[in-house]
């Protein structure tokens, strides 16, 4: 479904990605783990065409996309939920979802997609006419995901959906992601909640300073001292007990 080979992305002269290669198969939930500044968001931005890959190739659903514009990539069936959600605060919940469905020209399709999103997130239906800026952080995250689902994407990119949420809401968001995965959506997830992300993922990649350091399943990665140490070093975000349940 998605394959990156040797991808390098720059911000000006600064190289943010140093030859990143990774793969997401159809139906998989794959996560990218790594500390702040590792380049996780840059991978998603490069895949969705917001940032440009200077070198390397990106294949999506059988097509090379590394030179395509972001809106053409959306048309191919990829939705990107950016870090910090970025809902339109001055628009209502419904208007935000309409923005997400901007490519849908058929009214019946639009209504049925809206109903699908509302049945997945009943709280959004209740808040249909409410301004998005007045929603809680968790509700805004659901809206951001709902907006991305309006196009029924083949691949969903999720950038730190649990960021800034209370522990209960974090669990709720992970349940939501698990449900999406179960219903067949292919997902590339970026997270700092290592333990929870890996538990629901089929496969994980660990990124440090723009390079893939390790990859494997939860069972494989949780045995890696390097992974534990790296995240232990990040004590201000996550404690060991929360990471690996030890």
| Interface positions with ligand ADP (CB under 6 A) | 11, 14, 16, 34, 36-42
CA 211/CA 222 separation, integer angstroms: 19
CA angle 95, 98, 104 (to 5 degrees): 165
DSSP-based three-state secondary structure for 82: coil
Shortest distance, position 185 Cβ to ligand ADP, whole Å: 22
Q: Which of 161, 33, 177, 189 lies closest to 86, judged by CA? A: 161
Shortest distance, position 179 Cβ to ligand ADP, whole Å: 25
Q: Which stretch binds Mg ion (CB under 5 A): 6-14, 51-59, 81-89, 93-101?
A: 81-89
Is residue 193 a contact point for Mg ion (CB under 5 A)?
no
What ranges make up the beta strands (E) of 37-91?
53-60, 63-64, 78-81
If the CB atoms of residues 47 and 117 are measured against ligand ADP, the closer one turns out to be: 47
CA 100/CA 114 separation, integer angstroms: 10
If the CB atoms of residues 51 and 150 are measured against ligand ADP, the closer one turns out to be: 51
* Strand (E) or helix (H) holding 71: helix 70-76
If the CB atoms of residues 96 and 196 are measured against ligand ADP, the closer one turns out to be: 196
Binding mask 22-41 for Mg ion (x = CB under 5 A): ------------------xx
Q: Which residues bind Mg ion (CB under 5 A)?
A: 40-41, 83
């Amino acid at each position: 479904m998605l394959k990156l080979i040797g991808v390098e992305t720059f911000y000006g002269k600064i190289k943010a990605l140093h030859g990143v290669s990774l793969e997401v198969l159809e139906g998989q939930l794959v996560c990218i783990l790594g500390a702040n500044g590792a380049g996780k968001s840059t991978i998603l931005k490069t895949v969705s065409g917001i940032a440009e890959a200077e070198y390397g190739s990106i294949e999506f659903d059988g097509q090379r996309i590394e030179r395509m514009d972001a809106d053409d990539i959306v048309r191919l069936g990829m939705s990107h939920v950016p870090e910090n959600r970025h809902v339109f605060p001055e628009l209502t919940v419904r208007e935000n979802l309409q923005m997400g469905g901007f490519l849908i020209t058929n009214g019946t399709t639009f209504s049925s997609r809206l109903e699908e999103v509302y049945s997945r997130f009943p709280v959004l239906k209740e808040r249909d006419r409410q301004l998005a800026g007045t929603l809680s952080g968790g509700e805004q995250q659901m809206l951001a995901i709902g907006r991305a689902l309006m196009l029924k994407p083949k691949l969903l990119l999720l950038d730190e959906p649990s960021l800034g949420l209370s522990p209960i809401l974090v669990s709720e968001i992970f349940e939501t992601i698990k449900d999406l995965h179960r219903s067949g959506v292919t997902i590339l997830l970026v997270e700092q909640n290592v333990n929870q992300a890996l538990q629901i993922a089929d496969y994980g990649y660990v990124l440090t300073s723009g390079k893939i350091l390790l990859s494997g399943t939860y069972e494989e990665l949780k045995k890696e001292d390097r992974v534990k140490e790296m995240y232990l070093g990040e004590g201000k975000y996550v404690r060991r007990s929360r990471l690996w349940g030890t």
